[in-house]
Structures are given as structure tokens and as C-alpha cells.
Amino acid sequence: MKVIKFGGSSVASAEQLKKVLAIVQDDAKRRFVVVSAPGKRHSEDKKVTDLLIAYYEKAAKNQETTSLIEEIAERYGSIAQELGLDVSVCEAFASEIKSLQKDFDESDPYILDRFLATGENLNAQLIAAYFQHEGVKARYINPKELGILVTDEPHNARILEESYEKMYQWHNTEEILVIPGFFGYTKEGQLCTFSRGGSDITGSIVAAGVKAEIYENFTDVDGIFAATPKYIHEPALIEQLTYREMRELSYAGFTVFHDEALMPSFKAKIPVVIKNTNNPTCTGTMIKESYDRENPNRVVGVASDSGFCSITINKYLLNREVGFVRRVLQILEELNISFEHMPSGIDTVSLILRESQLTPELEKVLLKEIEERICPDELEVEHDISVIALVGEGMKFHTGITAESSAALARKNINLRMISQGADERSIIFAICGKQERLAVRSLYYTFFD
Amino acid sequence: MKVIKFGGSSVASAEQLKKVLAIVQDDAKRRFVVVSAPGKRHSEDKKVTDLLIAYYEKAAKNQETTSLIEEIAERYGSIAQELGLDVSVCEAFASEIKSLQKDFDESDPYILDRFLATGENLNAQLIAAYFQHEGVKARYINPKELGILVTDEPHNARILEESYEKMYQWHNTEEILVIPGFFGYTKEGQLCTFSRGGSDITGSIVAAGVKAEIYENFTDVDGIFAATPKYIHEPALIEQLTYREMRELSYAGFTVFHDEALMPSFKAKIPVVIKNTNNPTCTGTMIKESYDRENPNRVVGVASDSGFCSITINKYLLNREVGFVRRVLQILEELNISFEHMPSGIDTVSLILRESQLTPELEKVLLKEIEERICPDELEVEHDISVIALVGEGMKFHTGITAESSAALARKNINLRMISQGADERSIIFAICGKQERLAVRSLYYTFFD
């Protein structure tokens, strides 16, 4: 049995929902259908979730909301109409949307979550009605009925472990269950939404809960590419990769979805496939615990991300001082700054961190604290650094990846600010000057692909 | 004016002392002569310092010491005789050696230091007498008179800052001052020896104190080589390198001398030259603050050291956890373990540390603490790792050193456990399997030299 999830653009219009139905019907094992709120139908369109946020803000300010309510209801109404559904469905939706603002109490910590979740919740009801209308044995199921229990953290809920057992009771369902993504309920019955990755995380949780043989994640791209199309024209599609590779690629610049959302499936060792609603015959990208074949690719992908900075501390004999680095990290921790990498020379240690964490003031405080408490011989900051990750489980079976990749960068005169390859040999991380990011990704990509 | 220092083998025999005199006389600027205790004359010989330790141990146990006292006195006596010095000199020496054990009090924290320092102290007196005998205007000077004040830490003394001003008063000396290395005096007048690097450190301190134009360190090798002769047949002599390069090379396996000993000169920006007493016309190796020429060598040397281990910690999303690494380092610190490098992947961090710090028991405790307090997804230890350092200030001006060096290792099928290049770009550190150390050093050496 399979859990299948459709993202916002896959459920944005009647035309898209017809594709969804065809996909669901194409395989009788597809019993759990997790859906997002309607996304954009074209680049200028608005997502229903964004309309709901606007509606929430107006309601909070006690402003006129009628036109927004109509706009939201109309998104569902037009789909329903085009699909030939009974208008009564959408009348009920309109009144449900309208009732959100009744007794609006801004101090209620759950109120925003109720607004937000409405997009998914109504869409699941609409899609279930459409399926039934087409003679499919399907029904909407509320996350509470399904057993999705979450922590009491509005907009930032996490799944409670006991949910999995509850969900497993549904694993033999005869009906197709249409599930709204993005939210669950606290033990006290309050609706709370997940932090990020919305419906992705619901799909991943349900797949783990019902012990699906696969979690099919339908998006609007063919799968995961070996490099970003931003830099590479028609990059290679990755046919298969491991959870870890996925994670390492996501770390630096892969935005197909938020990799944390897939964790529940990963932990339950359920394979995940990324497919395209608009091109369902494409095999997509399969993400599994490990490779089926013995000799995986040397490199599966090249990812990059900008907006890092490095702080380099020079101090004579620093690695003889037990606790030296710990004291540096203590300062970071006190200022609530996390770091990504810490390459070290003999008397040198550099910290690579995300620049977004630092305001100019915080940077000053950080440097002052290091200066005063660590007394370095030299202290240097460099901004606008990009990090490139070359990822592949196969690296450990092939010597020379470091040589090939650094040679590729050297040929393009790209100077390495840092290179780090850890003992697990799944990735090589390069830090380079931000201006050279595109050039670096291209030179690495064309070294290992094509 | 120059400070010149002679190591143990340079002052081990009459024949060697004749070379020393010739070297000193060859340049009128050589006014401060720092000397070690007599070292080995041949590979089966004993160092006077080792004889003094044996003498101390016997005296502590109240055992018969006569033959040891005679053996030590005879080392000086035979030199004096061969040099044609007055026998009275050595009679005084014998009684001074004998008097060490008078009122032997093991609870006296300074007693071992007094035994140890005698080797240098008598040799300086002998050499001064020899110089005078040869008509050179020279005299022995005691470190106390010279102004070498040290911390009150027996066998582990450090120079006190105020010493430098005191020593500077001697900078215009007309006489050649012969100074015993290895010890100084506390403010209370107690003799204390330095921890390591014995006479090297005295020479370095005196050079800084008298503001010498150069510190000449005479040894029994032509200088510093670009790789160890243990692995490379007739390695290239390094003509010039910087303090930092010296330091980075010393870190991994260079044992010409203890690099910390040179710190006082380095801090005072006094050039240091390593020369060979047995081959004084060889220009040796010059160590300076920075290069005279604009474009330094890409690589000055390859150093290696064995006996490391790596501890690899895998934990999903670890770099999002502020304080994660700090908590790992806290554990190390509590167990008084220092680490050398910390390469990191996306969800991985490895610690490279010197194996000598870990007993099997301590390793177990360390792993247990990490397991319990960090809850890693995976925890792995690898023993018998060697670290190779490729060093050169010129690296930052040349792209491609990483590529060339890792390609050289790849050609020999050497798998990199870790590669780390920090932002200062003065060295690249490779961690490899210990068995491949020799092969790795050879392949890197022949890539950049020859």
C-alpha cells in the first residue's frame, strides 16, 4: 500500500485535479492521498494559503474581509464548478471560511493555525467529493480521526510518537482516504500546524504510520537534479539517491522540498519517490536507505549555497590548549550563533557560519568577545562566501574525487578558502568566494556529469 | 651582533670544540655563545645530561655514586687535557659534581634541576677557559648575572618578561660571553631548568634580550629538509622559510629542534639560522618573519606524524543545534583530551586526536560520555591514522595545490580519511591510514620537489 502526496501546484485547478485522479486510479495501492492547499495556477496567481494569511491579518485589524472571503471561496468554487460538483459543497466552504473570523481573539495562540489549515482542509474535502463524484470509493478524513497527534506548539508542532500506532490502525483501509496536509491536533484537541514543509511532512508521517511500501511525493518537477537549473542548462535527473545524500544536497541549495519533512519516512526506512504530476510517466527520483547496486555513483550531485562568512582565528600553539576551541564555541553559543564548518590548520581555526545570523552589531560583539576572551594573535573576517557540496556515497569507493574536483576548480582559477572532507567520505565541502559560485558549480558539474 | 648556540654533539669533544672556536672567531659579531652539555661523541656514547640523571637517581637512593662522578668529571677532563688546558679547571669541576649530593634532600623541589643544569654549566666554564687559553677575549657568564629570570616551576620554568630588559644591558659587550643553556634563576635565586628544548630556548631568549641581528643555531645537520630523510633519500635543504612554516612543519614530525624553543626569537622578529657545526660553509636554513622575495615557494616542505585516531560522530541536523560541538568538546575537556582537527560534513563531525592521550579505558569512558550526552546516530572510532602536512606560505598565491597534492595521493591509491585546508591557506592537512604514511610522504615530496 502506498501513500501519495500532491503539492500545491498539483491541486491548484480542475485540470490538475484530473491528473491527480488519473494518477491515483492508475495504481490500486494508492490508498492514502495527502493534499496541499491550492497553489498557484500561473506565476502571477496567489496561493490560497497566502490569501488566508491576508484574511487573518485583516480580521486581526478588524478590517473589511468580505472580498477576501469571496476570493478564497471562489478558488474552490471555480474548481468545483469545472469538475461538475454540486454547488452545495462550496456554499458550505464559504461559510466555514467566514466563520473563522467569528469571535476573533488575537490572544488565542491557535487562531493563526486555524486560518492556515483551512486551505488544506477544504481542499481535501473538495478532492474527496470529486473522487466520489467520479465513482471512486474515497472519503475525506480529518487528521484527528486519522490519529495525527502533535505537540502543543502553534505554527511549530511536531508529531507525537504515539500517533504512529494510531495511524497504523488504518493501514488496511478499503477506501481511499483523502487527508489534508500541514496540521494535526494536540491531545487537548487544539489544531496546530507544522513549522515547515507543510503537506510534505504529513505525507511522510502518514507513510511511516501506516507502514507504506513507498511514499510518493508528487511535485511539479521531474525529480531531483544533479545541480540547480539556475546554473546548469538541463541538469541530469538523479534516478536514485540515499537519504543521506538527499540530506547533504538539501543542505546547500536544493529546494525541491524541505528535507526535514522527509525524516519520518527516512526513520521508518520507507522509500520516497519524487515524481511530477504533469509528467507521471517519468520515473522520478527514488530516495532510499541504501543503494541496491554495489557500486554507487562517485558523485550524485553538486549543491551550492551563498551567504556564508568565515572567522579565522590564529593563535600560536592553539591545539595544545585543551579547551581552546570549546571556549570559542561557548561565545557563539552565548550569542545563539551556530556554525557550519570549522576547518583547522596548525595554529589556526576558521569558523564558517551563515551570514544571516549576524547583524553588523552582533558581528562586532562576537569579534570583541573573541578578542577579549581568546586573545588571538590574529582575527580575520571574510564575508560573501559560498559553500559548495559535492555529494556521493560512492566517494569512499573511489580515490581521487578530491583531486578531480579541486583540479576542476583550479583550472577555473577558483581559490579554495576552505576544503573539508570528513571521515564519512560522503561529501566534500568547498568554501569559495561568493562571486565564483556559479563558475564553481559549473566546473564541478561538468567534471562529474555529461 | 649575533647570538650563536651550539648543540650537544657540537660541544661533545675537543675536536668539536676546535670547530666551535673557529666558527666563533670567523665572525667578530658573534659575542654571545650559548652552549649545551656535552652530547654523544658516537652513537653508543652517553650524553652528560643522561649521566647526571643516573647520578641523581643513585644519590636519591643513597647508592654508591663514585664511579658516576668520575665518569662525568672524566668527560670534561679528557676534553680539557686534549685542548691543553690547566688540570686545575677539572679538579674544581669534579668537586662541584661531587658536592651536588651533599645534604641530598629529595623533598627539595629544585634539586633535580641543580643536577641537570650542571652539564651545561660546567661546559660553559670549560669552553670559556678554552677560548681564553687560545687568546680569545671571552668569559663564562652565569645566567643569573646575565639576567635570565624564570618562573618558579622546577623542570618547567618559563622566562619572565623582565629578563629581556636586564639582558639588554649586555648588548654592547666587548668580551665574548659564554653562557650555559637550559636554565635560569627564580626571583628568589633558585636554579630552575626549562621544560624542553634546553639550550635552544636559552639561545633564543638571549637573542631576543640583547636584540641580536641574528640567532645562529648550530646543530649537526645542514639545516631543515623539505621532508624527513627517514622516507626520502637526500631530501632538499630548505634555504629559507618563515616562522609559521617552521611551526607548521614542526607540528608534524620535524625534530631538528623543538619549535617552541624558537618562540622568543620569533616574537622579537629576530631571524634564526640553522647551521651545521661540521659543515659551517653550508648556508643552512634561514627562518624569518616573512619572505624577502615576492613570490615564495608553493610548498616548502612535507611533514608527517603517526599515532592519531579519529572519532566520527553522525547526527542528523547536528549543525542546526547551537552548542552541539561545544558539548562534544566539553566532554574532551573534562577528560583533559585535546584534539588536533575537526573536519565536518553536513551531519558529521570528526575529531582527530593524538592516540597517545587515550588509554583503552579512557577511550571507553570518552565514547560512553559521547554516547550518553550527545546521543549520536552513529559513533565510529578509527585508530592508526597518520597526518600529513603540506606547508607553504606561497599556497595562497597559487591555485591548484590541493588538486595537485590530492591527485598525487590518488595516483598511489591513498584514500583520504580527511582533508582540511583552513582559511589562512598556509598548509593542507591530510589524514590517511597509518600504513600509507611513507607512500604518501614520498608521493607528495616528489610532486613538489625534484
Identify the pLDDT of residue B322: 67
Exposed (0-12), middle (13-18) or buried (19+): which is A292, by Cβ within 10 Å?
exposed
Helix, coil or strand: residue A218: strand
Which stretches of chain B score pLDDT less than 70?
196-197, 251-259, 294-295, 317-322, 422-424
Of B314, B333, B417, nearest to A323 by CB-CB distance is B333
Tell me the average pLDDT of chain B. 90
**A325/A306: higher pLDDT:** A306
User: Is the Cβ–Cβ distance between A436 and A388 less than 8 Å?
Assistant: no
Q: Cβ separation of B423 and A396 shorter than 8 Å? A: no
Distance (Å, whole) CA A148 – CA A268: 16
Q: For cell 520507507, name the residue.
A: A270
Contact A36, A199 (CB under 8 A): yes
- Lookup result for grid cell 591548484: B400
Q: What tens digit of pLDDT does each residue of A105-133 get?
A: 889 999 999 999 999 999 999 999 999 99
Give A382-404 pLDDT, tens digit per residue: 999 999 999 998 887 777 888 89
Cα separations (Å) of A282 from A235, A261, A279, B356, B412?
Answer: 15, 23, 6, 56, 42
Please, what is the angle between helix B437-448 and helix B401-411, to 10°? 130
In this structure, are strands B285-288 and B272-276 parallel, antiparallel, or unpaired? antiparallel
Put simply, the answer to whether A342 touches B333 (Cβ < 8 Å) is: no
Angle value at C-alpha A375, between B241 and B328, nearest 5 degrees: 95
A339 φψ region: left (φ > 0), alpha (ψ -120 to 50), beta (else): beta
pLDDT in tens, B190-247: 999 997 667 889 999 999 999 999 999 999 989 989 998 889 999 999 999 888 888 8
- Regarding predicted confidence, which is higher, A441 or A255? A441
Complex ipTM tops 0.90: no
Separation of alpha carbons A20 and A1, rounded Å: 17
Cα distance between residue B103 and residue B94, in whole Å: 17
Higher-confidence position of A255 and B213: B213
Task: Collect all residues with Cβ–Cβ distance below 8 Å to A63 and sequence separation of at least 6.
Answer: none
Return the domain boundaries, chain B: 2-220, 301-448
B61, three cell numbers? 637512593
pLDDT of A197:
64
d(CA B323, CA B321): 6
Kindly report the nearest CA distance between residue B37 and chain A, in angstroms: 28
Kindly list the distances between the CA atom of residue B25 and the CA atoms of B140, B176, B199, B204, in Å, as whole numbers in the listed order: 16, 10, 21, 21
Tell me which residue in B342, B382, B431 faces A342 most closely, judged by beta carbons.
B342
Strand-pair partners of A218: A6, A275
What is the distance between the alpha carbons of residues B201 and A115, in angstroms, rounded to a whole number? 74
pLDDT value of residue B243: 86
**Residues facing residue A2 across a β-bridge:** A30, A214
Whether A336 and B322 lie within 8 Å, measured CB to CB: yes
The 10 Å Cβ neighbour count of residue B291 is: 15
CB-CB under 8 Å, B338 with A321: yes
Q: At A258, is the pLDDT very low, low, confident or very high (cuts 50, 70, 90)?
A: low
- Assign domain A301-448 to its CATH superfamily: VC0802-like (3.30.2130.10)
A259 CA to centre of own chain = 4
C-beta atoms of A423 and B380 within 8 A: yes
DSSP for A286-312? EEESS-SSSS--S--EEEEEEEEEEEE
Q: In sequence order, which residues have a C-beta less than 8 Å from that of residue B15 and are 6 or more positions away?
A: B82
Residue A247 is nearest to which of B336, B344, B347, comparing CB atoms? Answer: B347
Residues of B in contact with A414 (CB under 8 A): 399
The domain A2-220 is placed in CATH, from the list 3.40.50.2020, 3.40.1160.10, 2.60.40.10, 3.30.365.10, at 3.40.1160.10
First to last CA, chain A: 37
> Distance between CA B211 and CA B271 in Å, rounded?
11
| Chain B interface test: which of A312, A406, A428 (most B C-beta within 10 Å) | A406
C-alpha cell at B37: 652539555
Cα distances from A80 to residues A20, A121, A245, A306, A391, in angstroms, run 15, 15, 41, 43, 45
Residue A369: enclosing H or E segment and its boundaries? helix A360-374
pLDDT confidence of A196, banded at 50, 70, 90?
A: low
DSSP state of B41: S
Candidates A204, A344, A362, A432: best to mutate against B (most CBs of B within 10 A) is: A344
Task: Report d(CA A408, CA A385) in Å as an integer.
Answer: 19
Provide the shortest C-alpha distance from residue B251 to chain A (in Å).
7
Q: For residues A83 and A86, what is the distance between their CA atoms, to the nearest angstrom? A: 9
Distance of CA B149 to the CA centre of its chain: 21
Which residue is listed with cell 566546473? A443
pLDDT tens digits for A259-305? 678 889 988 999 999 999 999 999 999 999 888 776 677 899 999 98
Calculate the CA dihedral of residues B66, B67, B71, B77 and round it to 10 degrees. 60
Closest CA to A184 of A212, A164, A211: A164
Give the chain A residue whose CA is nearest to the CA of B311: A423
> How many Å lie between the alpha carbon of B126 and the closest alpha carbon of chain A?
37
Give the model's pLDDT for residue A318.
Answer: 67
Task: Give alpha helix (H) positions in B268-323.
Answer: none
Q: How many other CB atoms are found less than 10 A from the CB of residue A236? A: 15
Compute the distance between CA of residue A13 and CA of residue A26 in angstroms, rounded to an integer.
20
Average pLDDT for residues A410-421, to the nearest whole number?
86
User: For A231-291, where are the E strands, in sequence order?
Assistant: 240-242, 272-276, 285-288
Cβ separation B338–A319 shorter than 8 A: yes
The minimum CA-CA distance between B427 and chain A, rounded to whole Å, is 7
More confident residue, A155 or B262: A155
CA–CA gap between residue A291 and residue B222 (Å, rounded): 56
Q: Rounded distance, CA A75 to CA A77, Å?
A: 6
CA separation for the pair B186, B32 (Å, rounded): 22
Please give the Cα distance from A369 to A335 (Å, whole number): 10
Judged by CB atoms closer than 8 Å, whether chains meet at A422 and B343 is answered as yes
| Helical pair B111-133 and B66-83, crossing angle rounded to 10 deg | 20
Per the CB < 8 A criterion, the answer to whether B232 and B243 are in contact is no
- Separation CA B52–CA B71 (nearest Å): 10
Residue B175 has a CB neighbour count (10 Å cut-off) of 15
Q: Indicate the pairing of strand B378-391 with strand B176-180.
A: unpaired
Q: Which chain B residues are closer than 8 Å to A290 by Cβ?
A: none
Contacts of B192 (CB under 8 A, 6+ apart): B110, B113, B150, B151, B152, B153, B154, B155, B156, B157, B183, B184, B185, B186
Nearest CA to B441 out of B140, B285, B288, B231 is that of: B231
- In angstroms, the CA A425 to CA B348 distance is 10
d(CA A66, CA B383): 70
Which of A349 and A142 is assigned the larger pLDDT?
Answer: A142
What tens digit of pLDDT does each residue of B31-77 get? Answer: 999 999 999 999 899 999 999 999 999 999 999 999 999 999 999 99
Choose among B325, B404, B422: nearest Cβ to A345: B422
Contacts of B343 in chain A (CB under 8 A): 343, 420-423
Give chain A's mean pLDDT. 90
Which residues of chain A are within 8 Å of residue B427 when distances are taken between CB atoms?
345-346
CA distance B382 to B225: 31
Q: Say if the Cβ atoms of A322 and B342 lie within 8 Å.
A: no
Q: What is the bridge-based pairing of β-strands B176-180 and B138-140?
A: parallel
Residues A51-96: tens digit of each pLDDT: 999 999 999 999 999 999 999 999 999 999 999 998 888 888 999 9
What distance in Å separates the CA atoms of residue A137 and residue A176, rounded to the nearest whole number?
6
Q: What is the CA radius of gyration of chain B?
A: 25
Distances (CA, A) of A94 to A14, A76, A119: 18, 9, 12
Q: Do A341 and B344 touch (CB under 8 A)?
A: yes
CA nearest B57: which of B101, B14, B89, B93? B101
Coil/strand/helix, residue A160: coil
